[in-house]
Amino acid sequence: MSEHLIGVISDTHGLLRPEAVAALRGVEQIIHAGDVGRPEILTDLARIAPVRAVRGNVDRGEWAEALPLTEVVTVGGLLLYVLHDRHALDLNPAAAGFAAVISGHSHQPLVEQRGPVLYLNPGSAGPRRFRLPVSLAHLIVRDGALTAELITLPV
Residues 55-95: tens digit of each pLDDT: 999 999 999 999 999 999 999 999 999 999 999 999 999 99
By residue count, the chain amounts to: 155
Per-residue buried b or exposed e for 108-126, using 16+ beta carbons within 10 Å of the residue's own CB = ebebeeeeebbbbbbbbbb
Q: What is the pTM of this model?
A: 0.97
Domain positions in the chain are: 3-152
Could you say which DSSP state residue 133 is in? P
- Rounded distance between C-alpha atoms, residue 148 and residue 155, angstroms: 21
- Rounded distance between C-alpha atoms, residue 100 and residue 95, angstroms: 12
Mean of pLDDT values over 39-63? 98
- Rounded distance between C-alpha atoms, residue 119 and residue 114, angstroms: 7
Which pLDDT belongs to residue 132?
A: 87
pLDDT above 90 coverage of the chain, percent: 93
For the chain, the average pLDDT equals: 96
Question: Thinking of the domain 3-152, which architecture would CATH place it in?
Answer: 4-Layer Sandwich (3.60)
Containing 120, the helix (H) or strand (E) segment is strand 117-121
Q: How many CB atoms lie within 10 A of CB 31?
A: 27
Residues 92-131: tens digit of each pLDDT: 999 999 999 999 999 999 999 999 999 999 999 999 888 8
